[in-house]
Structure 1
Amino acid sequence: MTRTVVQDEAAIRALFIEHSEGMRLRSPERVVARYADDVVTCTLAPPLRNAAVDARDVESLAGWMAGFEGPITLEYRDLTVVVSGDVAFAHGLARLAAVPVGYPEGFSMWMRTTAGLQRLGGRWLITHSHDSVPFHMDGSFLAATDLEP
């Protein structure tokens, strides 16, 4: 069967759904299963970037998830996917919502998300993932976590 761009886009969008499900179910294994072996990630949490083994560290991600009570919600919106052969690019917005351990209420914030993908071994995997939050340019340099689309 010949692969089409529509099929590739659907497979890539399924990776983002899988990420959301992995977060909701608090399953770090499901989250990192979407990553290529040599992935580079730039997440909201320090450090500035994680590469390969560090980005795929299930125990580290489980530790981060343990900082929250209940489900961790990750919702994607306005996701654009562009496919060219065995390489693809996706970008959009994502909303992260959770209740930190020990806090009476949770938070909800929107961020920008971008991913580079490659078809490896017949399946799409993320080779680069970058999430970011803008910051106020008024001298406070505070993260603009109150923005909404």
Structure 2
Amino acid sequence: MTHRESVEELQRLVRDRVDAIAAHDVEALVGVPVEDVLAFNVLPPLSLRGAEQVAEQTRGWLGSYAQGPGYEVRDLQVDADEDLGFCAFLYHVTGTLRSSDSVSMWVRATLVCRRIAGRWRVVHDHESIPWDSETGQGLPDLQP
């Protein structure tokens, strides 16, 4: 597998993630992480360990939306070696929660991936929200 092919496969992994979120396809989303994935997602708790914890959180997140979520990826950067790669990007999540609250926020994300049995799998998922050091509050709708 060439470097270019690996990069293209990882770019496709991110595009598939966007499509799965739009379709509320939890199974497509949770089929990508390895069984013992470590995830630092925007939602509590501080960390998740294992695909089942990630699946449970993902189901709850998607189920919290009355409309959406919209999930737009920007500034995707991908690099890969033979069997190790990363995807770093910004994503804009939008929608209306079941509580009627609107969501519009930018999140920074990095996926560390390993090719296992010929397939790219997420071994570490890290997300963060920029915050204001003066107020200690997140800045949910910054423009990239």
Q: Same fold (TM over 0.5)?
A: yes
TM-score by length of 1: 0.89
Distance 2:18 2:51 in 1: 21
Match of 1:141 in 2: 136
From 29, 37, 40, give the equivalent of 1:39: 37
Structure (1 or 2) with the greater helix fraction: 2
Cα deviations by residue, 1:91-110 (Å, 9 ceiling, x for unpaired): 1211111211131x632211
* Residue correspondences, number: 144
CA contact (8 A) 2:67 2:97 kept: no
Residues 43-92 of structure 1: per-residue CA shift (max 9 Å, x gap): 110011101144443x4422221110133111111111111110012212
Whole-Å separation in 1 of the counterparts to 2:127 and 2:51: 19
Q: Distance in 2 between matches of 1:115 and 1:53?
A: 14
Aligned partner (choices 74, 91, 110) of residue 94 of structure 1 = 91
Q: Which runs of 5+ in 1 are unaligned?
A: none
Residue 6 of structure 1: CA displacement?
Answer: 1.1
* Aligned CA-pair RMSD: 1.4
CA contact (8 A) 2:86 2:110 kept: yes
- C-alpha distance in structure 2 between counterparts of 1:60 and 1:137, whole Å: 28
User: Hey, which bits of structure 1, 4+ residues long, moved more than 4 A?
Assistant: none
Unpaired runs of 5+ in structure 2?
Answer: none
* 1:130 corresponding residue in structure 2: 126
Indicate the percent of aligned positions where both proteins have the same amino acid: 25
Shift of 1:18: 1.2
Aligned letter for 2:22? Answer: R
- Give yes or no for the alignment of 1:115 onto 2:111: yes
Which residue of the other structure, out of 26, 29, 39, is the alignment partner of 1:28? 26
Distance 2:131 2:40 in 1: 16
Alignment of 1:1-80 (within 5 A): 3-57=1-55, 59-80=56-77
Structure 1 Cα separation of the partners of residues 65 and 10 of structure 2: 28
The answer to whether the 8 Å contact 1:76/1:95 transfers is: yes
Structure 2 contact 39–54 (Cα < 8 Å) conserved: no
Q: Distance in 2 between matches of 1:129 and 1:36?
A: 11
